[in-house]
Amino acid sequence: MSGLLSPHEKEPPRHGLLLLQLLILGVFCVFTLRFWYLQVHEGQEFARKAKANQLRREHVYAPRGLIRARGGELLATNEPAYALGLVREDCHDVEATLDAVSRWTGLDRAKLAEVYRKGRGKVKPFEPLILSQDLGFKEVAEVEAHKLRWPGLEILVRSRRNYSYGDLFCHVLGYVAEANESELDNDDGLSLGDNVGKLGLEKVLETRLRGIKGVREFEVDVTGRRMAEVNTLPPNAGEDVTLAIDLKLQSLVHEAMAGKEGVVVVMDADSGQVLALLSAPTFDANHFAGGISSEEWRKLSDDPQHPLLNRVTQSAYPPGSVFKLVMAGCGLKEDMLNPSETVFCPGSLSLGSHVFRCWRRGGHGNVNLRRALVESCDVYFYRLGMKLGVDRISAFSFACGFGKPTGIDLPHEKGGNIPTREWKLKTFGERWQKGEDLNFAIGQGYTLVTPLQVARYIAALINGGKLLKPQLLASAEPEVQTQIPLNAHERELIKDAMVRTVEDPSGTCWRARTPGAVVGAKTGTAQVARLTDELKALKDEDIPYKLRDHAWMAGFGEKDGRRYAVVVMVEHGLHGSSGAGPVVKACMDYLFPQTPKGAGK
């Protein structure tokens, strides 16, 4: 029959059964491998995710360490603050939620969106993304009132830094503020929304003050609502620290510098501990703790007095006649100065075609070292500078700690500038000129120092020659960095001249006299610009402010085994005696109070 299949066509495929068996085996193997992969290789990860869907973890913020003054007064504390977080996994409509948050709190909608955009990749979906660090009670109440209808929003209780004395310690303590992207990337201990020290000791001591966060685990339901807390690892609070700074003395110098720009340093000459350290003007560090507004920031940054500038570490000044104390030491050390030998001062000294004038136009007559320091004779030191030359002056200045940072525990400290031949050639492409030795000798020209460096040198003159690191912490041990190259006799000569500068009727530091204490000092009036003859003819108060001289007074006080170095520099303060002298006097009166008559009888 033609419709019937041939016997050969009725036979099943020769390898069909085998192929079917192989296919089944292959499918089985695939399922087996997938099962192994999911159960064994990825099992722990899936278990973790499943657990995470049931358990939530949140950080418990560690209280930041407290900061006290040497008398125990609290300078930096913590107070409760309320942050607003958004858990993305629980939030059904992020855009609508941000709209609602902006309406309730008054926070800028665009800023909220920016915070969300930047933060979403840095926190897990089930962790709160901080939208605002510091809500007021009114805003907290608004969020709490609507929170049930807007899943994902959380009010988080954190701590906010509080500076008890506002602006009094701002340049010493610095402040804390929200960590930026760079800080987050470089510190595994930080999370989005964390605060870190930005300036001052808050920055330098960040790891000691911050503490270690704790963790709290709690169960949540399918909507993210907390059901029960199951585990808590408490945080470790940051370390408390006590400063060497005396609160009353700091308040006193702050008041004495009101309306002025400058620096005050009061240092224990034997330990290096800093009892007062002020950069004026100041600002209220509390403005930064909760996030400074654009208006506040603009007001501070545009202030012509630059309150944000820490003049203690970020500024260096021409020292003027204060540098004569260094020159005297250099002349003695190099054996190129006979203390009793006199130099005639006619009121000026000519070098080539240039006339270098003394501040006293009529001259000082014959002066020796002591009188040259007491009356601050420029001609005496012009001649000494010519004898010594730039190489000796520079080397001695470096050996006394000038031209490099002191190492105080504050960030961004400048070292000032001590010029050398090489420095001038490299900086200006010019050779050192002989006349520049004369400017160098009276603390003008290219010389820049910091009040901290001057305070260390003054302390070394009265403590046996030890150049100490300025210490801000009360617990810090004295740290001798080096010994200035002056023997006891040479130091005593300079010290005695400083005392005479206070005690003698012709001395320029008579304002610093303090009954009952041995006080020595040296004034400095540092030019900041070359005045025209027309400006020189004006009264001091009529000279444009920015062209007025800086006023210095650097001194020490001793009584009953206590020794302190006190340095005051007032920008554009005109004269050392009148501009800085009253502040030095106020410090001496505090350090060495007079016993009332009849007391103790």
Residues labelled as active-site residues = 321
What residue has token string 């001091």? 540
Task: Report how far residue 488's alpha carbon sits from residue 496's, in angstroms, rounded to the nearest whole number.
Answer: 12
One-letter amino acid of 200: G
- Report whether 557 contacts 594 (CB < 8 A): no
- Report whether 276 contacts 266 (CB < 8 A): yes
Q: Where are the beta strands (DSSP E) in 404-509?
A: 466-468, 480-483
**348-352, long-range: CB within 8 Å, 24+ apart, which pairs?**
348/379, 349/379, 349/382, 349/383, 349/438, 351/386, 351/434, 351/435, 351/438, 352/434, 352/435
Label the pairing between strands 214-220 and 262-268.
unpaired
178 three-state secondary structure: strand
Beta-bridge partners for 132? 84
212-236 burial string, b = 16+ CB within 10 Å, else e?
ebeebebebeeebeeeeeeeeeebe
Express the helix, strand and coil content of the chain in percent, nearest 5 each.
40, 25, 40
132-165 burial string, b = 16+ CB within 10 Å, else e?
bbebeeebbebbeeeeeebbbbbbbebbbbbbbb
Task: Report how far residue 247's alpha carbon sits from residue 519's, in angstroms, rounded to the nearest whole number.
Answer: 23
